Chain A
Amino acid sequence: MATAAIGSAIKRKEDPRFITGTGNYLDDIRLPGTVHAAVLRSPYAHATIRSIDTSAAAAMPGVLGVFTGRDLEGELNPLPCAWAAGGNAGGIQNNLNTPRVLATDDVKWTGEGVAVVVAETREQAVDALEAIDVDYGPLPTVVDAEKATQPGAPQLHENAPNNICFTWRVGDEKATASALKGSHVVVKQRLVNQRLIPNPMDTRGAIGRYDPGTEEYTIWMTSQTPHIMRLLLAAFVMGVPEQKIRVIAPDVGGAFGTKIFLYADMALVLWLSRKLGGRPVKFYETRRENYQATTHGRDHITYLEVGATKDGEVTGLRVKTYANLGGRLSTIGPGIPTTLYGRVLAGCYKIPNVYCEVTGVYTNTTFVDAYRGAGRPEATYVLERAMDLVADELKLDPAEVRRRNFIPADAFPYRPPDGLLRSWNGAEIEVDSGNYEPALDLALKNVGYADIGAARELAERRGKYLGVGLSSYLEVCGVAPSKWIGLVGEGWGAAMWESANIRVHLTGRAVLTIGTSSHGQGHETTMAQVVADALGLSVDDVLVKHSDTQGTPFGYGTYGSRSAAVGSIAALKAAEKIVAKGKRLAAHMLEAAPEDIEFESGKFFVKGSPDRSKTIHEVALAAHVGYDLPEGMEPYLDETAYYDTPNCTFPFGTHVAVVEVDKETGQVDLVRYVAVDDVGKKINPLIVDGQLHGGIAQGVGQALWEGAIYDDTGQLLSGSMMDYALPRASWLPELELDETVTPSPVNPLGIKGVGEAGTIASTPAVVNAVIDALSPLGIRHVDMPLTAQTVWRAMQAAGKEASA
């Protein structure tokens, strides 16, 4: 390739419009005649709805209608839960408890919608909400997943005794018990992976428009998965044919998982538009609504037992987790703490025995679903804390314990011995490639691990404890082979392939339409880079379009770090089809045999005679005008490819955090952050760095500051940005990124993906660093977030004087 686009750190094509205010986000869309919907949300976390009086609200200025759940009965079905955790791994005990578009009989969390107002202006709609009179019958509440399973806890659903939605198991229980019994040491620890509020900059919303003439619906929505949303709306909620709905995701300002899912407002705006004879109906969340009514992440309580030999080789890992699902099930809520958590608990280590039992629990809280990393951060946190606990117990170097347990470089492709990655019907994925020690070594070298003692002494003189924390992580990208993820009970009962279409116009410029859905990832740039190289075009000559179900091929969307590892390969395959057709046409034009045509850097030429050539522009022109084509060839260069990855890809690396803890106040200062990531080959190193920067910041946020706090009555106390602390750029040190490169054998580009790696790796690195800093006090664990007060309290409890 003359000038390879793949691998070059070019600036994102989409950024000029985003940073000059010319993007087109949902709230920028102004359709003529738009009216506005606002949702009344329950102030109670658990209550019956005795009655709702909407008459005063209906009489307010500008109000066009006020509707309750009763008005929707027979019109809109409850939202589906598409992922029933089950199979031979324990079986979901119920998956019926999903939200209705508006609650009818009862509410299960503060923020559940009970009525909708539609009015001429948003302000009128919001004002009218205050005039709706709801008679609630308050019920006792429970917000803690472990407590919710105890006898006597308030019960949320009749079909879920003890609030248990499912008990899911993976691994060999007996072998793990016996391995732990025979271990030199067994360390136990209770770990809380606290609930997080994802906080995309662009909150959620939808604009629905019904066309009374064609009886077709169009919906603009902030979504990562426009094609799936169309399917779920059509088939499950509205009962209209899929082709009657067009879903458009405009520019979407971040999602972190929350915009994978189906939400009540999507169905509401379409129903209301039809009710109003076709006026466009807009709903756009306030930040407070986003906190209460868009999915949360994490929220696990885990009992960990890890066994090891005296040399620190881990012999077994037994994990019992209570996963908080919220008051009702979100679209794939049960999938996160099961398949995406339990199956990756061994991470980058050759742990011979793993057993994991997950209890999915209903509580009076907002529903929980995928949040950046989705199960893998939770698993990595358990595992990387386990490694440090083993090192501490055996007085070994945490780096050495990791090294001793790594899957060796010659063991790939690697299948965990106990079938952790084998789904219940036998389909198995394997860790595609890896070489973990060099990444660890490079990270240790970059941080100056051998000399950290001197830094500790310097910090000590300033009244600070210095700590170093490691995290060797395994990410799972390219989610996922359909045969593995598509099983009912293992996945969501549907496939996860990806799609791409390329049309080469007669000017030789190409339009690539894709099934993935960029919402900050930079697909307009990276996908163009892949196709530019494959077709010998410049990156600027490849226009990328996505996220409109009319005009793009069906795709499963963007999440699970799948757009590069699955989506871009679909684009590559489509380009290969273009080249194959181009060769046949070029052969015809050059009067040569098709098998003698080669293609390189945008030129078709006869093997051995590079001057006998046609450019792709010339071939595209010939294909377009079509008056001289080989026998049987269709005109135009227009090819679609569907790509189902044969395996996931497994980026890895080691991150090292260095922190200082103020002995008097408990304040934690992250002073250095060193990361070595191996994401295989990179399409765009600049975008990879950006993904790592953002991901690391999010993971650090969980370690040190973030946490959704409910009181016992289910009120969300951390209900705004004034009380929920997101990381700020100035709180982070310069991130010191480095790499090793182990190309993935799964796909022809050797790429793996990177979307969630930073988030997965950074949380345990920082927590391990803080615990290391506090280790002189005998502290072995403190639950996140490690706020100043939490750390101070731990120091107090350790019986040491925290004050001078």
Chain B
Amino acid sequence: MIPAAFGYSRPASLDEAFRILREHGDTAKILAGGQSLLPLLKLRVAHTEHLVDIGRLRELAFIREEAGGGITIGSLTTYREVLDSPLAAARAPLLVEAVQDIGDVQVRNRGTVGGSLAHADPASDLPAVALALDAQIVAISGRGERLINITDYFTGSFETVLQHHELLASIRFPALPQGAGTAYRILPQPASGYSIIGCAAVIARSGGKISYARVALTGASDVAYRATAVEDGLVGTDGSAKAIAAAAAHATSNRMVTSDIHADRQYRAQMAQVFARRTVEAALARSA
């Protein structure tokens, strides 16, 4: 597999990166770990005139504790670094659970959290995780920094609100609600390992009832989304199997469900319900 010719820069600083991005406008693409973009370039499915390799900007690789119990993860943090981080394990167990089965060892050693969220593959794992965790995307450019709520971030298949002159710098994960349980479950497409359906859930309860629910799905549609109808159906219930199943039945409400050679619309929609239910049950079981 040989990509079409492209230009290449490897900026040594953020300022240099911004300058290069400004020069090339919308003809450049940013390369982080290269685990998604490079295969597409090699297959000549994606094309770019210029590749800006930000791999040397190590200041974007960190996992930091925030006041209030949340954490911020720099965009160039690899999956391996997430898996090796006690802080991530303590504060964002949902992220760790999702990351442990991404790709294979080599992919996890090179693939990055920010790269995945910037790439915005509608069947990848991290968009659902970020949605379920109420994450905020920190985008930076030569003009400064802006915060994007994750619910405003994804705009379509492989599309986000990031501008061409912007870099995804970090992701903020706020503290989980007291006693919340989290879970991530996927039905993998066996060839690619991407989700036919992936579901991330955060559930907290109070006084015998579900008091908080975040349920996000990936693989189901052309963009990962929060299944708010499922969340609404859960909050206030006793979390019985029946209540969860009733809520999970809304997993693809108002969504155009994807159909491809691996799973047609009917099967995928049905599996969205099954996995929403199973994931919520698992998260509930882990809640205190």
With both chains docked as a complex, state the minimum distance between the C-beta of A520 and any C-beta of chain B, in angstroms: 22
Q: Encode contact with A along B44-58: 1 for CB under 8 Å, 0 otherwise.
A: 000000000000000
Interface stretch among B23-31, B72-80, B84-92, B256-264? B256-264
A793 to B267 Cα, complex, angstroms: 8
Q: Encode contact with A along B1-38: 1 for CB under 8 Å, 0 otherwise.
A: 11011000000000000000000000000000000000
User: For the complex, is A723 an interface residue (Cβ under 8 Å from B)?
Assistant: yes
User: For the complex, is B273 an interface residue (Cβ under 8 Å from A)?
Assistant: yes
Interface stretch among B136-144, B157-165, B185-193, B210-218? B185-193
- Contact yes or no, B273 A789, CB < 8 A: no
A211 to B76 Cα, complex, angstroms: 53
- Contact yes or no, A127 B191, CB < 8 A: no
Contacts of A665 in B (CB 8 A): 187, 271, 274
- Contact yes or no, B262 A288, CB < 8 A: no
- Contact yes or no, A723 B261, CB < 8 A: yes
Contacts of B1 in A (CB 8 A): 286-288
User: For the complex, is B149 an interface residue (Cβ under 8 Å from A)?
Assistant: no
User: For the complex, is A236 an interface residue (Cβ under 8 Å from B)?
Assistant: no
User: For the complex, is A787 an interface residue (Cβ under 8 Å from B)?
Assistant: yes
A720, closest chain B residue (CB):
B43
> Assuming A286-B1, A717-B261, is B190 touching A787 (CB within 8 A)?
yes
User: For the complex, is B270 an interface residue (Cβ under 8 Å from A)?
Assistant: yes
**CB under 8 Å from chain B, chain A span 751-804:** 787-789, 792-793, 802-804
Best-buried of B189, B191, B192 by chain A (most CB within 10 Å):
B191
Contacts of A723 in B (CB 8 A): 191-192, 261-262
- Contact yes or no, A722 B187, CB < 8 A: no
**CB under 8 Å from chain B, chain A span 234-292:** 286-288
Q: Encode contact with B along A116-139: 1 for CB under 8 Å, 0 otherwise.
A: 000000110011001000000000
With both chains docked as a complex, state the minimum distance between the C-beta of A607 and any C-beta of chain B, in angstroms: 62
Interface size on B, as a range, is 20 to 34
User: For the complex, is B245 an interface residue (Cβ under 8 Å from A)?
Assistant: yes
With both chains docked as a complex, state the minimum distance between the C-beta of B5 and any C-beta of chain A, in angstroms: 6
Contacts of A804 in B (CB 8 A): 245, 277
With both chains docked as a complex, state the minimum distance between the C-beta of A478 and any C-beta of chain B, in angstroms: 36
- Contact yes or no, A789 B264, CB < 8 A: yes
A717 to B262 Cα, complex, angstroms: 10
Contacts of B270 in A (CB 8 A): 792, 802-803
Residue B261 contacts which of A664, A709, A788 (CB distance < 8 angstroms)? A709
**CB under 8 Å from chain B, chain A span 721-766:** 721-726, 731
Interface class of chain B by DSSP: loop
Contacts of B191 in A (CB 8 A): 705, 718, 721-726
Contacts of B271 in A (CB 8 A): 665
- Contact yes or no, B2 A789, CB < 8 A: no
Residue B2 contacts which of A126, A667, A720, A731 (CB distance < 8 angstroms)? A126
Residue A122 contacts which of B2, B4, B192, B267 (CB distance < 8 angstroms)? B2
With both chains docked as a complex, state the minimum distance between the C-beta of B259 and any C-beta of chain A, in angstroms: 11
A127 to B2 Cα, complex, angstroms: 9
Best-buried of B4, B190, B191, B196 by chain A (most CB within 10 Å):
B190
B192, closest chain A residue (CB):
A722
> Assuming A717-B261, A803-B270, is B190 touching A127 (CB within 8 A)?
no
A723 to B262 Cα, complex, angstroms: 8
Contacts of B189 in A (CB 8 A): 725
- Contact yes or no, A725 B274, CB < 8 A: no
Interface size on A, as a range, is 20 to 34
With both chains docked as a complex, state the minimum distance between the C-beta of A72 and any C-beta of chain B, in angstroms: 25
With both chains docked as a complex, state the minimum distance between the C-beta of A111 and any C-beta of chain B, in angstroms: 15
- Contact yes or no, B261 A705, CB < 8 A: no
B274, closest chain A residue (CB):
A664
- Contact yes or no, B190 A725, CB < 8 A: yes
Residue B274 contacts which of A287, A705, A789, A803 (CB distance < 8 angstroms)? A803
A789, closest chain B residue (CB):
B267
Contacts of B39 in A (CB 8 A): 722
A243 to B79 Cα, complex, angstroms: 57
A288 to B245 Cα, complex, angstroms: 43
B270, closest chain A residue (CB):
A803
A726 to B43 Cα, complex, angstroms: 19
- Contact yes or no, B187 A127, CB < 8 A: no
Contacts of B273 in A (CB 8 A): 803
Q: Encode contact with A along B250-281: 1 for CB under 8 Å, 0 otherwise.
A: 00000000000111100100110110010000
Contacts of A726 in B (CB 8 A): 191
B277, closest chain A residue (CB):
A804
Contacts of A130 in B (CB 8 A): 4
Q: Encode contact with B along A664-678: 1 for CB under 8 Å, 0 otherwise.
A: 110100000000000
With both chains docked as a complex, state the minimum distance between the C-beta of A790 and any C-beta of chain B, in angstroms: 9
- Contact yes or no, B274 A127, CB < 8 A: no
- Contact yes or no, A792 B267, CB < 8 A: yes
Contacts of A709 in B (CB 8 A): 261
A723 to B261 Cα, complex, angstroms: 8
**CB under 8 Å from chain B, chain A span 655-671:** 664-665, 667
With both chains docked as a complex, state the minimum distance between the C-beta of A798 and any C-beta of chain B, in angstroms: 15
- Contact yes or no, A288 B261, CB < 8 A: no
A793, closest chain B residue (CB):
B267
A121, closest chain B residue (CB):
B2
A711, closest chain B residue (CB):
B261
Contacts of A667 in B (CB 8 A): 187
- Contact yes or no, A788 B2, CB < 8 A: no
A766 to B273 Cα, complex, angstroms: 28
With both chains docked as a complex, state the minimum distance between the C-beta of A234 and any C-beta of chain B, in angstroms: 32
With both chains docked as a complex, state the minimum distance between the C-beta of A194 and any C-beta of chain B, in angstroms: 13
Contacts of A664 in B (CB 8 A): 274
A792 to B196 Cα, complex, angstroms: 14
- Contact yes or no, A127 B192, CB < 8 A: no
Contacts of B277 in A (CB 8 A): 804
Contacts of B267 in A (CB 8 A): 789, 792-793
With both chains docked as a complex, state the minimum distance between the C-beta of B132 and any C-beta of chain A, in angstroms: 21
- Contact yes or no, A718 B4, CB < 8 A: no
A707, closest chain B residue (CB):
B261
- Contact yes or no, A123 B5, CB < 8 A: yes
A664, closest chain B residue (CB):
B274
With both chains docked as a complex, state the minimum distance between the C-beta of A698 and any C-beta of chain B, in angstroms: 15
> Assuming A127-B4, A723-B261, A789-B263, is B190 touching A705 (CB within 8 A)?
yes
A273 to B177 Cα, complex, angstroms: 70
A662, closest chain B residue (CB):
B274
A717 to B261 Cα, complex, angstroms: 8
A704, closest chain B residue (CB):
B190
A788 to B43 Cα, complex, angstroms: 28
- Contact yes or no, A718 B274, CB < 8 A: no
Contacts of A789 in B (CB 8 A): 262-264, 267
Contacts of B263 in A (CB 8 A): 789
B267, closest chain A residue (CB):
A789
- Contact yes or no, B262 A127, CB < 8 A: no
A129, closest chain B residue (CB):
B2
A774 to B199 Cα, complex, angstroms: 27
A793 to B5 Cα, complex, angstroms: 45
Best-buried of A287, A709, A722, A731 by chain B (most CB within 10 Å):
A722
B273, closest chain A residue (CB):
A803
A718 to B191 Cα, complex, angstroms: 10
**CB under 8 Å from chain B, chain A span 85-144:** 122-123, 126-127, 130
> Assuming A789-B262, A792-B267, is B187 touching A286 (CB within 8 A)?
no
With both chains docked as a complex, state the minimum distance between the C-beta of B144 and any C-beta of chain A, in angstroms: 38
Contacts of A722 in B (CB 8 A): 39, 191-192
Q: Encode contact with A along B185-226: 1 for CB under 8 Å, 0 otherwise.
A: 001011110001000000000000000000000000000000
What are the nearest 3 A-B pairs in CB distance?
A725-B191, A725-B190, A722-B192
10 other A-B residue contacts (CB within 8 Å) besides A127-B5, A792-B270: A127-B4, A130-B4, A288-B43, A664-B274, A705-B190, A718-B191, A725-B189, A789-B263, A789-B264, A803-B273
15 A/B residue pairs, CB under 8 Å, sorted by A: A123-B5, A126-B2, A288-B1, A705-B190, A709-B261, A718-B191, A721-B191, A722-B39, A722-B191, A787-B262, A788-B187, A789-B264, A803-B273, A804-B245, A804-B277
- Residues of chain A whose beta carbon lies under 8 Å from any beta carbon of chain B: 122-123, 126-127, 130, 286-288, 664-665, 667, 705, 709, 717-718, 720-726, 731, 787-789, 792-793, 802-804
